[in-house]
């Protein structure tokens, strides 16, 4: 039995989420071209312990095993991402049929298992060949992204339940191009603004391309959100927090839903007005990722003008992220307040936590901290729904422990433990918890 705080309405989607470079492996197989993450992770000193996604969870070779894990959970949807350079090895031009066949096989398996495929087209793995001609700093990449959307739309659109264009474009901007801690490792400061604009333009063009290629399939974008609070009342801290909030929470949403850049960033966006109509083409849903809130102080040495301070009185995940479920509720109600009727239905496309899980002698993987995290955050979603926010689904990050970008394999987010030596999968305690929650919602 579950109580009302964890009871979701009939038809609510329970799913899980993953991303191509984090789980697939098979980095150089069947014609896949390299992406910026292959290049970056093979560059010394970029990823913890020198880890790469060459093998990752080897999901490319284990679709049956991984779909069986999804079926065992009872999820009704699975969010995964398509590797652009597996489909178009140089990002444009020649299509790699073997790459499309892999995704076709995956969506067919999911459909056979009664699970709705929800692919993301871009989860940070820009084809290296496009990076070599400017990547997202180049306007041409937006047009190439739309071409890629047409290719996958035509190949998979008859079996896909929803499309997500971009995943967390602010991370590509901030980590990848402002600070250089993610691929492609550029440190351009605010000079990276074109990376934001071209991703937004690529999103808008891809929405149109997907609608043309697969009419009737809902299309959305996924952003990560979280409250940003100033550490003190000092004007410098308040201003720094407002700027960070604009970059993290508004930059990739205002242009899409309101057709304009947020006021705090308008000076960076001068000359882009002509693209706003394409960027603000209506979407069918907004993908919301939430992990944690931030508290910041002014920091002139930081390229975005602020640095984080410790969130008071909160437990922490293995990443050091504060566990604050109430921040999830205020994030969702805040979206509703800011965008009003311009806000489409929301799908929570990621939420989860990293903990240092291990397989016990009896073969179990106890992860009570993750269970508590999930329980608290799902209740926070439910509370936002009670306050009037239209949330239709929840995709838990992640199905499997996987390649956690610059942290390599050191951070485990999965419902399923992966032994990265043997690639053995072992469901954790949280897998059983989520399965039981889903079962409790069966009619």
- Interface residues with ligand IFM (CB under 6 A) are 19, 22, 168, 289, 350, 397, 404, 413
29 flagged as catalytic: no
Pairing of strands 285-290, 219-225: parallel
Q: Which is nearer to ligand IFM, 288 or 298 (CB)?
A: 288
Cα dihedral value 359, 380, 288, 68, nearest 10? 40
Measured from the CB of residue 413, what is the shortest distance to ligand IFM in angstroms? 6
Instruction: CB nearer to ligand IFM: give 13 or 289.
Output: 289
Least distance (Å) from ligand IFM to the CB of residue 380?
17
> Which of 168, 179, 294, 404 does the annotation list as catalytic?
168
Q: Which is nearer to ligand IFM, 133 or 319 (CB)?
A: 319
Q: Which of 24, 179, 350, 404 is catalytic?
A: 350
Measured over the CA atoms of residue 63, residue 75, residue 19 and residue 261, the dihedral's sign is positive
Catalytic status, residue 350: yes
CB 350 to ligand IFM: min, Å: 5
- Give the shortest CB-22-to-ligand IFM separation in angstroms: 6
Give min distance, CB of 366 to ligand IFM, in A: 21
Comparing CB distances to ligand IFM, the nearer of 328 and 413 is 413
The answer, yes or no, to whether the previous bond of 167 is cis (omega within 30 of 0) is: no
Contacts by 364-371, CB closer than 8 A, 24 or more apart:
364/429, 365/417, 365/426, 365/427, 365/428, 365/429, 366/428, 366/429, 367/428, 367/429, 367/430, 368/429, 369/315, 369/317, 370/428, 370/429, 370/430, 371/429, 371/430, 371/433
Neighbour-count burial for 97-122, b at 16+ CB within 10 Å, e otherwise: eebbebbeebbebbeeeebbbbbbbb
User: 390 phi and psi, to 5 degrees?
Assistant: -90, 90
Question: In the complex with ligand IFM, which residue's Cβ is closer, 168 or 237?
Answer: 168
Q: Are strands 346-350 and 391-397 parallel, antiparallel or unpaired?
A: parallel
Nearer to ligand IFM, 66 or 168 (CB): 168
In the bound state, the residue with its beta carbon closest to ligand IFM is: 19
Residue with tokens 């003008």: 305
Smallest separation, CB 224 to ligand IFM (Å): 6
Q: Catalytic residues, which ones?
A: 168, 350
């Amino acid at each position: 039995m579950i109580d009302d705080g964890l009871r979701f309405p009939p038809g609510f989607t329970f799913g899980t989420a993953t991303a191509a470079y984090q789980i697939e492996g098979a980095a150089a197989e069947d014609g896949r071209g390299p992406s910026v993450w292959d290049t970056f992770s093979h560059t010394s000193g970029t990823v913890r312990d020198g880890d790469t996604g060459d093998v990752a969870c080897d999901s490319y070779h284990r679709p049956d095993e991984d779909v069986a894990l999804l079926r065992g959970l009872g999820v009704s949807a699975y969010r995964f991402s398509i590797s652009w350079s597996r489909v178009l090895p140089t990002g444009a031009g020649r299509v790699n049929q073997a790459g499309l066949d892999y995704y076709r096989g995956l969506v067919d398996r999911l459909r056979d298992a009664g699970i709705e495929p929800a692919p993301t087209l871009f989860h940070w793995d820009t084809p290296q060949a496009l990076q070599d001609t400017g990547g997202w700093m180049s306007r041409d990449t937006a047009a190439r992204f739309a071409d890629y959307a047409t290719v996958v739309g035509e190949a998979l659109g008859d079996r896909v339940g929803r499309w997500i264009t971009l995943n967390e474009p602010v991370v590509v901007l901030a980590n990848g191009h402002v600070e250089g801690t993610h691929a492609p490792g550029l440190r351009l400061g605010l000079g990276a603004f074109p990376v934001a604009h071209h991703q937004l333009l690529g999103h808008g063009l891809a929405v149109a391309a997907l609608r043309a290629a697969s009419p009737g399939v809902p299309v959305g974008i996924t952003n990560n959100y979280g409250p940003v609070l100033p550490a003190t009342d000092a004007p410098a801290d308040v201003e720094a927090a407002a700027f960070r909030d604009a970059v993290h929470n508004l930059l990739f949403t205002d242009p899409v839903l309101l057709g304009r850049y947020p006021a705090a960033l308008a000076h960076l966006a001068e000359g882009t007005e002509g693209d706003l109509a394409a960027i603000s083409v209506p979407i069918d849903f907004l993908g919301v990722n939430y992990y944690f809130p931030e508290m910041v102080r002014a920091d002139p040495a930081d390229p975005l003008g602020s640095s984080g301070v410790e969130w008071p009185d909160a437990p922490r995940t293995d990443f050091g992220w504060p566990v604050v479920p109430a921040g999830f509720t205020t994030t969702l109600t805040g979206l509703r307040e800011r965008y009003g009727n311009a806000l489409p239905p929301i799908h929570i496309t990621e939420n989860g936590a990293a903990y240092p899980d291990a397989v016990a002698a009896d073969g179990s993987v106890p992860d009570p901290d993750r269970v508590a995290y999930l329980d608290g955050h799902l209740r926070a979603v439910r509370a936002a729904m009670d306050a009037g926010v239209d949330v239709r689904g929840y995709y838990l990050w992640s199905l499997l422990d996987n390649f956690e970008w610059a942290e390599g394999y050191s951070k485990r987010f999965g419902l399923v433990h992966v032994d990265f030596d043997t690639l053995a999968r072992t469901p954790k305690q949280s897998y059983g918890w989520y399965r039981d929650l889903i079962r409790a919602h069966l009619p």
